[in-house]
Amino acid sequence: MRSSECSTLIPQLVTSTEGQKFGAASTEQQRSQVLQLAQQLKQEQAAAPDSSSSSSSDGPTAGALSGSWRLLWTTEASVHALVKGQLLGIGVRDIQQHIDLPGKRVTNTIAFALLGLQLQASGPLTVLNSTRIYYSFDKLLLRLLGLQLSLPLFIKGGGWTDCVALQQGIRVMENSRRDTLVLQGLPE
């Protein structure tokens, strides 16, 4: 991939996600713009996998996917419902994902805008190929005011996600529900 394309597409993608509350407040035009930029990145990554790619031929490396990521934008309806306060009546402050490839676990954390309330789902992951991981959640925690409560998993969530582009600390993913996600790497 030509570095000039990367240097313009990534900032355009990040800018296009701003002010959209993780995609829940996107207009059709904004949604279309984000998806178009994500698709362009995916096509460029596929066309030149060896240059600027952060995954090896035998699987994502710890340096590529392992770490903490902040969700910038998604098409996931369940996330949009949480962000809009439709499920708990409380707004969302932050959504993060932590991928631990050596430990083979993924943890998704939703931080709400009330008293440090957090929901955290985690589970084992399996690297299926150079871009795809499979996970199934086996643990759900509720955190509030420094207390932690383990909750039953009524619905066992999970599926696969493909990392279709990973450059300049930005990860574009597609999942088994046909959703698109844009995440930004966090410093460790």
Give 130-141 pLDDT, tens digit per residue.
788 999 999 999
CA-based radius of gyration for the chain: 16
**Whole-angstrom Cα distance, residue 39 to residue 124?**
29
Q: Which CATH class is domain 3-185?
A: mainly beta
Per-residue pLDDT for 2 more than 80? no
Q: pLDDT tens digits for 74-127?
A: 999 989 998 988 667 788 999 999 999 999 999 999 999 887 899 999 999 998
Find the helix or strand (DSSP H, E) in which 70 lies.
strand 67-74
Residue 58: exposure state from Cβ atoms within 10 A (0-12, 13-18, ≥19): exposed
Q: Residues 154-179: what's their mean pLDDT? A: 89
Confidence at residue 90, expressed as pLDDT on a 0 to 100 scale = 85
Position 22: which residue type?
F
Q: What is the DSSP letter of 137?
A: -
Confidence at residue 158, expressed as pLDDT on a 0 to 100 scale = 86
